[in-house]
Structure 1
């Protein structure tokens, strides 16, 4: 299933100290999880007895009842193709341990005791429980089975690549270096936390941050399952707030204070996690510390079928754009300021007096112009240190021409208009090219003429040419080599096309510009993307639409993210695209543009190998000095053969 495994958190109804009732509720939750096709399921801490039994934990009937209940659950799930973590007290070595029991198909794979025992504020666990560090035995006969016990257990699936499970219990997560950190270093990709976290004002937010941070640091999936409202309310209230997180992203959570049992499940991407660990070369360095855990016992198990009907997680169709609209403003502000600061610093360092930029009336040059203007504001110098140049050619339309002029005027910069028609015609004559032949020579002559003008104007004005090309164009090679491909600082080099659009819209509605300038930006946003290198149609409208030629940028940005960020196979990229773009593109269309992406990405690397400087603003960058190093003559055969089979 493309590296996905479905994991779940179950918060059953509960009665304190009633192991028989709790067993039945746990089995009900397991049946519900089966309906949801869950393969790894986690219950709360001490879920067989209840966390709030207090001194009843000294009672033999309770301990015996919990053991018998676990035995019954193991027998009842002998044919259940699922790994199940249940909380249970275990008496051993003259002590009592708060344990997580992991079961699979009727077998108790192991018992993992809690390591850090809280004894502060409302917690008095040391009165009843010992730490895993006090454990003497390594095995125990429990619930009718001979079972390994210890905090040094990891559980590995024989037949599911990348699935290795580590367990910890509640407080273990809240210490400076949780046990799960070391479990992750030794390969655990799915971390389960059986918890009884009582509810306090503002604690849910902190809990989300804690789980998210641990999943991010461990490059792992993390399931935090907390006790529900059936626990005693004598001194605290438990809400059942449970979370499923993957590499810092919260995929799902339960409803707090629900009176009914709940099972929440999501698909986590094991392939993504293992790829991320390989990329982050500092991930394993923690093991060089002298106090690092040095040894784990590995217990194996098998899952018979990890398929599912549909993907139980959201797949964003715009992975470069925040899905949470509440964070969009701060994200745009951050990215825009990176661009502005990078350009301002380069202007200072080179002692440039002028920022020279070609303005076409399109999206990319508009964003670069806005960055240039704000760089002057940032440096405290007049905006007339920006020289905007519009260079009408054979494909320029009235709409883009007037938008370019009006936008420059509304921003208060220097403006020049230099037609490239005569220069291009002279060049055609010089090289013997028929101007009625609208081929690549016809198009690239215009792009290179514009670049020459900008470079020479920069020399005249002690200036610096600001590049406008974006990350998506660099991925596709949609730029004229030594034409718009070249500049002295490319402010958009780390910004994909879908994010360029978001940033321009953000500036337009921010209220920081005049009403006229904002209106122009909105019209630019409505203008088809085009290099305008071919003559307009009979109505004077754009006749050359980029997305008709290379494919929709929303698809290419999606492909770019999945392929470069995670290194996925073509079939998985297609599968994810089908999930993200349901009802908008059929499979044949997705395959067509995916193959085009691979083809162009490989053959156009030579353009990326000699990029101008520019700021990295997000997780991906194609600069040969930063994130991406690739031979310009690398073969695409492996990728294209896979893509052809789709």
Structure 2
């Protein structure tokens, strides 16, 4: 006869330092778990305080309030008769640890600290926590917890839970990704159920890695694997994308959504322990790990007719779907928690700002679907945003008109075509759209300069110098930023409506690499949903939006060459293009960005790789020119990344220096030694070439 157990894991939209809201969501998830017959409930990493507390982890308040929440959980009748596994920070011997606390019926069973830390990319866990490298010690509980549990000490360390019918072992987030994953030894030691509480963020094309790791973990040693994850924006640039799941012996048998507006999602699965034991055969070794015995069973005696969950196929989202869903959910979390009444976007009629507009439209589609599905929390949040307690959205386009304002900011250098493209897209998505001519403001600023200096700068086309040409472009861009914030603060006031708007930016990740934007222009905004997405992916996303949302205006936008429209028109037509200004294509920039960040290439090693990657289209000398040009632009403009708008993190080559890319912002832009190495290599490979290489320096 089988030993069938019902287990629960969840995705929670926790918010850093929102102890009250986090407590409510934890309790709701436990209640749902019990209602589905689960005897074990797993939650995300650091769910009590929120994963993204950052330097708030240094504060004693964070530790204190986490224990206060833990006491509420222990006292709640909701947590009775189910093993609860929650995450919180704990200080032991004056050292902070990222911990799981497992408890049952007002008794703490064990505290398991994280042993392998995430300390790369977006993560700096070793800034706040130490990895646990001991076995098991006794932890003296705070007095407020002793009063509830009647316990003085509990086991603290690398140990597992042994119930009357099975054995449960814990992993925490990055430990799954580590080559020394604890589940390997635990599986060999007879642990049958592995749990992983995570705060794993979304990146394009990443979900399959996570799923494959979990499938692989149970394929190698057999076993049941529960995965819980944070969901939503908890106060930073990353979006945690859920995907709670249950696997057994290499198969996924239950899964949650990757992108969802539900604050609480609980996944339960009924699985047969005998399936694990049959799968393992003679694989296990004698028990080596410390066990904490619990007088509790996850299974019931009479379970012959209890059906078990069968393997399912995981259908992964395409990158275009990920762009449509991830940043949209991130924007909604930011808007509903910011206290603002909507968004304002400078809409230029180009690919980037149109992509941002389409993400907002996708957000409105998701909101309307959630309301139709009777999601009361979403409806309550929408009503709070629009300041109308009776409002109920009927259509995404209608909702878009309530919370989204777009504006086209024209100058004498703007073409009628871009103006029309912006207007047509705004009409199709339903945003409240404005056409604003900013020539008066630009000329007013230049007039002040002229009064002070007696000089009036000119564009290249009118005989001006490089300095004049750049300054005239920048003043237009910066005036747009000032006006964007003015209209964001007062446009609802002018329409007799309450609240203000968040300004959205729309600089893509490739432009950030080279600094191809004006510092403090309209790329300076409150948040930027596309700041971590490449131009190539954005174009594919707009093609997707044409079909998915019937936004036919995007066809003309996709057909037009990207342009800043900051220089005079030629016979009424745009003569300035982004790729010509940057000196390289967007696809070239994506390749360079990945080599710079992911492959950790400097100028010389990048040249050595690109001469092979681009051998069919560029000569070694042309590759050298591209590499040198990029590093000059990158190092000259790196300072701009210190003020870049907080962006949705979607690419592993993001140059965001605030968290992800910790490189200097003051460089020797000549790169003399590095460029000389490139020159020497070109000369070695082309001994017949007599061309002087000095112009490449």
- Band of TM-score, shorter chain: 0.3 to 0.5
Q: Normalising to structure 1: TM-score of the pair?
A: 0.48
